[in-house]
Amino acid sequence: MAELSEISIDVVQWRVEDVHIPPSVNALADLVASKPPSSPYISPSDLTCFAVRLLLLTQPIISYEHAGKCYCICGIRTLQAAKTCLKPDDLVPVHMIEKSSISDEQLIQLAQSDLYLKSFFSMFARDPDVLAQMYNIIGKDILKHIAPGHQTKSKFAQDADYSRQRVFYERIKNDGSDSSTQPA
């Protein structure tokens, strides 16, 4: 992981429709965009504009600029809420990372860590299928840095109040084609 102290951040106003998802974190975007079939869930469209503005303050969108375009790497869920509830040409505050201070690989790691931490640190129950996908996307290398205890599937599932079997293997029975949940 990059040295956090080396990352410089500047807050810039962008039109919400001009903030994009970089292709490198598409898998994470898929995870966020797919509505979980069960479990308690607050839809972004259920939020008020005030709530979205609050989110933009407390869980900001972190982006970088490349070729004149703004790419979001952290706060994807906040971006989704902003895009769903605000008008396309509304301005939103975006924390801009200086692209030169961080490598592409580090950007991806940052995005993955953000999603993981926000998911696990939230007080709401999580969907086991989403957890399994997240575990496979993030991988053990990242987990080693941010939550070493979660490197093993058993501990990962246990902390989410599920059995290892429920999180990683029952889905395989239902949908054998999904390779993302293959046991490590």
Partner 1 sequence: MSGLKMMDQTLPPSLLKYVEAPEPLVEAGHIINRLATVLSVVEQISSLEHLHEGSQLNTWSAACLAFAADYQAQAQNYIFDPLRGLYEDHQPYVSLWHEPSDPKNKTKHNHLLGQLLIANSACRRLEAEGEHFESSRKAAFTFARSICKKDYSSTLEALPGKACSTEEYLSHLAGLSDTPRTASFAVFIRYALGLRKGITRDTSDNHHKHPAKEPISLSNEPDIDQNPVTSRSIKMPIHNPAKEKEIEKSGLSSQEFTHQKEHSETSYSEEEPMGGRSSTEHLQRAKSSQKQVAMSNQQLQSRWSVLSSFEASCIASGIAYAYRKSKACSDVDLSHQLLELASLLTIMFWYSVPFDEAINAIGHETMPQKPRERVEFVLDSPSFVLIKTARPEYKSQYRKYKCLDIASHVSLNSGVAIEQIIAEHFKRAGKRRKLFNQSIEYYVRLLENFISETNQSYGCRLTMGRIANCVFESIATAPGSDITYAMLITGRTSYLGANPLFYTATNSWMLNSIYQNTCKSIAKSARMELAGGKRRQTSPVKFNPPYQMHGARIRPTCSEVASLQWHLSGKIEDAKSLGPIEVHNAMAIYTSAFINFATGYRAVGDASFHSNEIDYDTGFAVISDKDSVDEYHSRLVWIMDECIKQIQSYQAQLKAILEYASLKLPNVYKALSNELHGSIKDKARSIPGLFLIEGDKIVPLTPSAYESHFPSSYPFPANAHRHFLRSNLLEMGGPSDVVDAFMGHWENGQEPWASFSTLGAIDYRDIIKPMLTKLIVSRCGWNAIDPYE
The helix/strand/coil state of 67 is coil
8 A C-beta contact, residue 11 and residue 62? no
Terminal Cα distance for the chain, rounded: 22
Region 62-101 residues binding partner 1, contact defined as CB under 8 A? 76, 79-80, 83-84, 86-88
Pattern 19-38, partner 1, x by CB under 8 A: -xx-------xx-xxxx-x-
Q: Which is nearer to partner 1, 17 or 105 (CB)?
A: 17
> Which of 60, 42, 50, 34 lies closest to 123, judged by CA?
42
Q: Provide the CB-side half-sphere exposure for 73 (13 A, CA).
A: 23
Q: Which is nearer to partner 1, 20 or 166 (CB)?
A: 20
8 A C-beta contact, residue 1 and residue 85? no
Q: Which is nearer to partner 1, 7 or 32 (CB)?
A: 32
Residue of 45, 58, 100, 179 that binds partner 1 (CB under 8 A): 45
Q: Which is nearer to partner 1, 82 or 97 (CB)?
A: 82
> Which of 40, 37, 35 lies closest to 77, judged by CA?
35
Question: Least Å distance between CB 87 and partner 1?
Answer: 5
The helix/strand/coil state of 103 is coil
Q: Is residue 17 at the binding interface for partner 1, with CB under 8 A as the rule?
A: yes
Q: Which residues bind partner 1 (CB under 8 A)?
A: 17, 20-21, 29-30, 32-35, 37, 43-45, 76, 79-80, 83-84, 86-88
